Chains A and B, each alone.
Chain A
Amino acid sequence: MIRAIDIRKSFGSNEVLKGISAEFYQGKTNLLIGRSGAGKTVMLKLLVGLMKPTEGTVWYGDTDFTALNKHQKKAIRQDIGMLFQGNALFDSLTVEENVRFPLDMFTKMTKKEKLDRVNFCLDRVTLAGNNHKYPGEISGGMQKRVGIARAIVLEPKYLFCDEPNSGLDPKTSIVIDELIREITIDNNITTIINTHDMNSVMEIGDNIALLHLGELAWVGNKSEVMESDNQLLQDFIFASPFLQRLRRQFVDKS
């Protein structure tokens, strides 16, 4: 479990996060949602330690991550896998080399063991047989899956995903969402997804935190979204007139 307690972050005089406290549970897909500029990416970067909060603490289990020094953080970071918005794959390395990179860097496995692990992860994300392709030779959805394979290759306890659906068509987005959800449940890990994709919210939102202008506006799960009368949540989820009509029909029926 990861806990953020009273997180504040300012850039100069601009306060981007204004005292956010939230809990992210093990074995669940935890979603950070909100409109562009709500502070989701900053929150995610604070949680993984790419940025330091101006105030507040981040706890990994019983460990205050924000109080650790660089070397102590390194140990926790090897339990973290992250899928980046732009995938952050190394262009000059093949799919296999990209996924194998953390194994090469941090383990003393034999070549065969590494290859077996890489193939297992590629198989897990349904990319078996694409070992020798370069990131530039595969589609955006496949690149996302390579990113996921690389993120899980060291069997992390925590998985962070920054906008995993950006740039993908709705069908591929659902495939990626399902994949992340399966991995979360199968490996019993804490997954935090930063998204503004409504489909993700309704499909995999076990624990949802809505950020609005740097503040926590709503917390709940996907089954509570429909019934909630939080205006900010409704404005965000049911942004189009079509979706608003659908929601009205749903509420009327129920």
Chain B
Amino acid sequence: MKLNFLEEFGRYLILLKTMFAPPENFTMYRKETFRQMHDIGVGSLSIIGLIAFFIGAVTAVQFAYQLEGSFIPSYYIGYIVRDSTIIELAPTISCLVLAGKVGSNIAAEIGGMRQKEQIDALEIMGVNTAAYLVGPKIFAGCVVIPFLVIIAAGISMAGGYLAAVSSGFVTPNDYLLGLRSFFESYYVFMMIVKAIVFGFILTSIACYKGFYVSGGSIELGKASTQAVVLSNIMILIADYTIALLLT
């Protein structure tokens, strides 16, 4: 069944609306939410940490290369790594990666449940499947992803430190001075806003694509891919919109 964009968007909104229903059993929903928080948070720490480390390292090395022969003091390396990480790299790159890791996982999990009739089984029991399967995932994403992004920002700055200092571009003291210079706490607020919005986008789109999957394993694979691609596009659009609104 092919749907046009407006029909798809309408169905997405209806799914989100259905999600806001009183839970049949609060304890079960709480358990499911904690399970999702663990899966999204702990399950993504290593990949986010690895990527954040190299992003910080590359940013530091690239900027240090640009500074060579200029009159700009070397402690700016720390300052640039910090601000570029906080404003853009930590939330956006982390969430693009999470859209691939968490988003595809969610779409496959819910889609698999649809194909194995587990969602039908829940509906027959009288469970609000949108609320029970989608709600905890979106809530967990919106809560845990900001923490992942904060951790990513910290690791990125540490990566920048190790790369810049070990390569001799900057002294440890200068790098740390740069990290502390011209600090605007508002940028941290922006980072957290971005993380929450991106977290919502990537989890809700993945849930939507998985929830309405029909057919066999090929369709499930397609839904999973679509979830990742669409989430990435929407994250980039949201990134631009937030940048316009908050700066």
Q: Which positions in A face B, CB cutoff 8 Å? A: 48, 50, 74-75, 77-78, 80-82, 84-86, 88-91, 101-102, 104-106, 154, 160
Q: Is the interface of A mostly helix, strand, loop or mixed?
A: mixed
B8 sits at the interface (CB 8 A)? no
A104 lies within 8 A of B125 (CB): no
A74 lies within 8 A of B120 (CB): no
**What A residues does B219 contact at CB under 8 A?**
none
A104 to B30, CA, bound (A): 12
Q: Is the interface of B mostly helix, strand, loop or mixed?
A: helix
B125 lies within 8 A of A105 (CB): yes
**What B residues does A106 contact at CB under 8 A?**
24-25, 125-126
CB distance from A94 to the nearest CB of B (A): 15
**What B residues does A101 contact at CB under 8 A?**
125
Given contacts A88-B117, A90-B118, whether A50 and B123 have CB atoms under 8 Å apart is yes
**What A residues does B120 contact at CB under 8 A?**
50, 84, 88
Given contacts A48-B124, A78-B126, A105-B28, 14 further A-B contacts (CB under 8 A): A50-B120, A75-B126, A77-B126, A78-B125, A84-B117, A84-B121, A85-B117, A86-B116, A88-B120, A89-B118, A101-B125, A102-B125, A106-B24, A106-B125
B162 sits at the interface (CB 8 A)? no
Q: What are the interface flags for B6-28 relative to A under an 8 Å C-beta threshold, 1 for contact and 0 otherwise?
A: 00000000000000000011011
A84 to B125, CA, bound (A): 12
Residues in B100-134 with C-beta less than 8 Å from chain A: 116-118, 120-121, 123-127
Closest Cβ neighbor of A11 among chain B residues: B1
Q: What are the interface flags for B50-68 relative to A under an 8 Å C-beta threshold, 1 for contact and 0 otherwise?
A: 0000000000000000000
B126 lies within 8 A of A74 (CB): yes
**What A residues does B127 contact at CB under 8 A?**
105
Interface size on B, residues (CB 8 A): 14
B25 lies within 8 A of A105 (CB): yes
Closest Cβ neighbor of A90 among chain B residues: B118
Closest Cβ neighbor of A80 among chain B residues: B124
B118 lies within 8 A of A105 (CB): no
**What B residues does A75 contact at CB under 8 A?**
126
**What B residues does A104 contact at CB under 8 A?**
25, 27-28
A80 to B25, CA, bound (A): 19
A80 to B126, CA, bound (A): 9
Q: List 10 A-B contacts (CB under 8 A).
A: A75-B126, A82-B121, A86-B116, A86-B117, A88-B118, A105-B25, A106-B24, A106-B25, A106-B125, A154-B125
Closest Cβ neighbor of B120 among chain A residues: A50
Closest Cβ neighbor of A76 among chain B residues: B126
B125 lies within 8 A of A50 (CB): no
CB distance from B111 to the nearest CB of A (A): 14
